[in-house]
Amino acid sequence: MKYLRNEVEIKRFGKWVRQIRIAKNISQENLAYEAEIEYSQVSRIERGIINTSISQVFAIAKALNIEPWVLFKFDEV
């Protein structure tokens, strides 16, 4: 079975997370703290370096005080 990795969409997702975080005036450090993930992980997600997990998506959404589905609305931006 082939491992699926869509570089374009991973980068778009990361940019959208960053836009939401900045709009809410939250630093990467604070987002990491609130989501209980490593600061470097937030940075890698936002830069589109890693294909993050669903568990982290839910943690990030909670830390940003949004519904998880909002993080997938990046196709409308």
Q: What's the mean pLDDT in 51-56?
A: 96
Give the pLDDT confidence score for residue 77 in this predicted structure: 61
Do residues 65 and 43 make contact, with C-beta atoms less than 8 angstroms apart? no
pLDDT band at 70 (very low <50, low <70, confident <90, very high): very high
Q: What's the mean pLDDT in 17-21?
A: 97
Contacts of 24 (CB under 8 A, 6+ apart): 64, 65
Do residues 63 and 24 make contact, with C-beta atoms less than 8 angstroms apart? no
Instruction: Quote the pTM value.
Output: 0.90
pLDDT band at 60 (very low <50, low <70, confident <90, very high): very high
pLDDT exceeds cutoff 70 at 76? no
